[in-house]
Structure 1
Amino acid sequence: MTQKLLNHRAEGPATAPPLLLGPSLGTSYALWDKVAPELSVTHQVIRWDLPGHGGTAPDLIGPGATVADLAELVLELADYLGIERFAYAGVSLGGAVGLHLAAHHPERVPSLAVVCSSAHFNGSKPWEERAALVRREGLASLAENANARWFTPGFTVPRLIEDHRTADPGAYAACCDALAAFDLRDRLSSISTPTLLIAGREDPATPPAHLREIADAVPGASLTEIAGASHLAPAERPEAVLAALRGHFDGYALRGMEVRRQVLGDEHVNRAQARQSPFTARFQDFISRYAWGEIWTDPTLARRERSMITLTALVAHGHYDELAMHVRAARRNGLTPEEIGAVLLQTAVYCGVPAANSAFAVAQRVLADEEAEGS
């Protein structure tokens, strides 16, 4: 039997840190069209559709659905994709899903951004009434006034209005049921996930006060307010939303740069940064984020052990310029000259004597320079 999953779109390298993007009620993953491609430069971005929206089957939820039900569908999607831990950003109902995940499954979500959303959606009655209206009359009348609910005057995104008009009424009403029952205020103080709140200053549905309430309750959370944005800020002010999300989610790159400096030294890293150009910028980001932010920070191996492995690999491939740099790094990581010599002697057996001979010459020069600097 084929497993039914949320319709989704993946962008970015599969080796990059995963980032899931959740939509607002009435929209599809097209809500993220102006943001996701840029985020996919540094992340494996997975954006998904609500049941009955976009390409997701409507029968994944039914009457009386909850945000917890939607969160389980997101976890099923992540499991299917082989993703154990993922950063998460969501708008409105998608943001409520993120809050639920952070409160109930913190081991799965290391970083969270909640965009134009709330820990409660003004009580159950308005949503119960909307669900009844949609079940009775469909979505045509709601779609007609979507611009006023979603955007500042004079702005629109026709694709999103069409998503609203063509959503399945039963699934849409079930999502209204989920919003009616949602109230996470009593769990906010227990959320330990690093959390960013993004509010649209012109948002009538979830005004900045709702996001401020979350920011005040979640330990260490931060709040960004975006001028000129209403409820669907990623569509209306994508540049501002992108800047906020990058600042929050690019922790791997920031942590990687710190480790890179500790191992290679400020002088080397400063030279590399000074030589950076628009052509090499993505490669430098890749090195900081992936090599230094993920691999060198993995606690499975100590840094001195990683230095030994790196020295061996560089000798094996004849990368002697890199070898000189990593001999210095090995000394910073605690290896003695005798231990470095033992590693290089080991390479003579498994990588060849000529390679080890060149490696000893490089290492001897580096260690002599170090001794001269010390004296």
Structure 2
Amino acid sequence: MWDKVAPELSVTHRVVRWDLPGHGGSAADLIGPGATVADLAGLVLDLADSLGLERFAYAGVSLGGAVGLHLALHHPGRLSSLAVICSSAHFNGSGPWEERAALVRREGLARLADQADTRWFTPGFSVPGLVADHRAADPAAYAACCDALGAFDVRERLPEIAVRTLLIAGREDPATPPAHLREIADAVPGAALVELPGASHLAPAQCPEAVLTALRTHLDGPAKRGMEVRRQVLGDAHVDRAQSRQNAFTARYQDFISRYAWGEIWTDPTLSRRERSMITLTALVAHGHYDELAMHVRAARRNGLTPEEIGAVLLQTAVYCGVPAANSAFATAQRVLAEEEPVLAEDEAQDGADTGDTPGRPGR
């Protein structure tokens, strides 16, 4: 289903795909009769844990989208963002799903596989590989997934979702029509909704470019905000130099820095930028990264630290990181502050002209 989307996303993101139990490479006995969406969400978290992924962006289609809603409600700290595609907060009650589960347990998947194209796509469109995968799925595991869909209903809890959320609807989707996605978008604070004309239930397979565009915009939100913060803290000149040196080899690293370090860590309101600058200076001294230290001394000035406060931070490092490290740190900081002094003096003079205060007064 993601074959035409995942490779493109993987240029700038690490992409992990998972199969439903009994589908593709997943064992059928991972779930059984009476399974719930919570069971599937638990398997996703187990997978993430096994890969060392503490937080991740999640995107899911249909039942996969329901798994995402469950994660957002019960494990919000694990998600950096959520995309729910051609899915719903409920799947019209348990009755139809009980009937389908009974049919599959009795007859297998042949009849449903013969009808797959009409359930999944608009007339005349087909992805034979998806239909073949459907036909090859384990009937017991498929029926257990039907049990999960029948029992799922989180409509009353949608306003509790605080994860940044994108909804993608296929306008021609008979299984989870756009109204189902609008219901989620209206209830989840700040959620965005995209409706794709000409798309049915498996939109990533039928309209991969449109889904890719929506996901990129959604996923790159932190990168855009991170780039803004990065420029505010480090200055345009430094960031422009870094961007000009970017190539195919370093592009993913630059995206990681903007999205994670600057878009998530530096934007966290728990600590002020002044506090983050002090912590960063200390860490750079501790590891002997004096070129980076010079850059962050300038950043600390932009974040409001005075030369006296920067000196106090470096004096603290002498106690806990060692005198030799502090010697080098003071030399680096003194050089940077000396280079910055003419600019600072000009700024102070201007402040004095504007306010009537005396330029260069103590405490500036």
Give the TM-score range, shorter chain.
0.7 to 0.9
Q: In the alignment, what sits opposite 2:352? A: none
The range that moved more, 65-74 or 35-44, is 35-44
- Kindly indicate which of the two structures has a greater share of residues assigned to helix: 2
Q: In the alignment, what sits opposite 1:212? A: 182
Amino acid across the alignment from 2:69: L
| TM-score w.r.t. length of structure 1 | 0.80
- Alpha-carbon contact 1:310-1:326 (below 8 Å) kept: no
Please give the secondary structure, in 2, of the residue aligned with 1:53.
coil
1:252 aligns with 2:252: no
The structural deviation recorded for 1:185 is 1.7
The structural deviation recorded for 1:231 is 0.9
1:231 aligns with 2:201: yes
1:303 aligns with 2:285: no
1:364 aligns with 2:338: yes
Q: In the alignment, what sits opposite 1:39? A: 9
1:129 aligns with 2:103: no
The range that moved more, 41-50 or 295-304, is 295-304
- State the alpha-carbon separation in 1 of the partners of residues 329 and 162 from structure 2: 50
Q: In the alignment, what sits opposite 1:331? A: 301
Q: In the alignment, what sits opposite 1:61? A: 31
- State the alpha-carbon separation in 1 of the partners of residues 95 and 311 from structure 2: 75
- Structure 1 residues 35 and 363, CA gap change in structure 2 (3 angstroms): same
- Structure 1 residues 63 and 324, CA gap change in structure 2 (3 angstroms): closer
The structural deviation recorded for 1:115 is 0.3
- State the alpha-carbon separation in 2 of the partners of residues 284 and 109 from structure 1: 22
Please give the secondary structure, in 1, of the residue aligned with 2:69.
helix
Please give the secondary structure, in 2, of the residue aligned with 1:121.
coil
Q: In the alignment, what sits opposite 2:150? A: 180
The structural deviation recorded for 1:119 is 1.4
Please give the secondary structure, in 2, of the residue aligned with 1:120.
coil
- Alpha-carbon contact 1:307-1:329 (below 8 Å) kept: no
- State the alpha-carbon separation in 1 of the partners of residues 28 and 22 from structure 2: 4
- Structure 1 residues 307 and 66, CA gap change in structure 2 (3 angstroms): closer
The structural deviation recorded for 1:149 is 1.3
1:84 aligns with 2:58: no
- Alpha-carbon contact 2:19-2:25 (below 8 Å) kept: yes
- Alpha-carbon contact 1:296-1:306 (below 8 Å) kept: no
- State the alpha-carbon separation in 1 of the partners of residues 326 and 146 from structure 2: 68
Matched residues, number: 341
Please give the secondary structure, in 2, of the residue aligned with 1:114.
strand
- Alpha-carbon contact 2:167-2:185 (below 8 Å) kept: yes
Matches within 5 A, 1:135-284: 135-266=105-236, 268-269=238-239, 275=244, 279=248, 281-284=251-254
| TM-score w.r.t. length of structure 2 | 0.82
- State the alpha-carbon separation in 1 of the partners of residues 128 and 340 from structure 2: 63
Please give the secondary structure, in 1, of the residue aligned with 2:16.
strand
- State the alpha-carbon separation in 1 of the partners of residues 278 and 246 from structure 2: 33
- State the alpha-carbon separation in 2 of the partners of residues 67 and 355 from structure 1: 54
- State the alpha-carbon separation in 2 of the partners of residues 71 and 373 from structure 1: 55
- Alpha-carbon contact 2:35-2:148 (below 8 Å) kept: yes
- State the alpha-carbon separation in 2 of the partners of residues 261 and 354 from structure 1: 27
- Alpha-carbon contact 1:341-1:360 (below 8 Å) kept: no
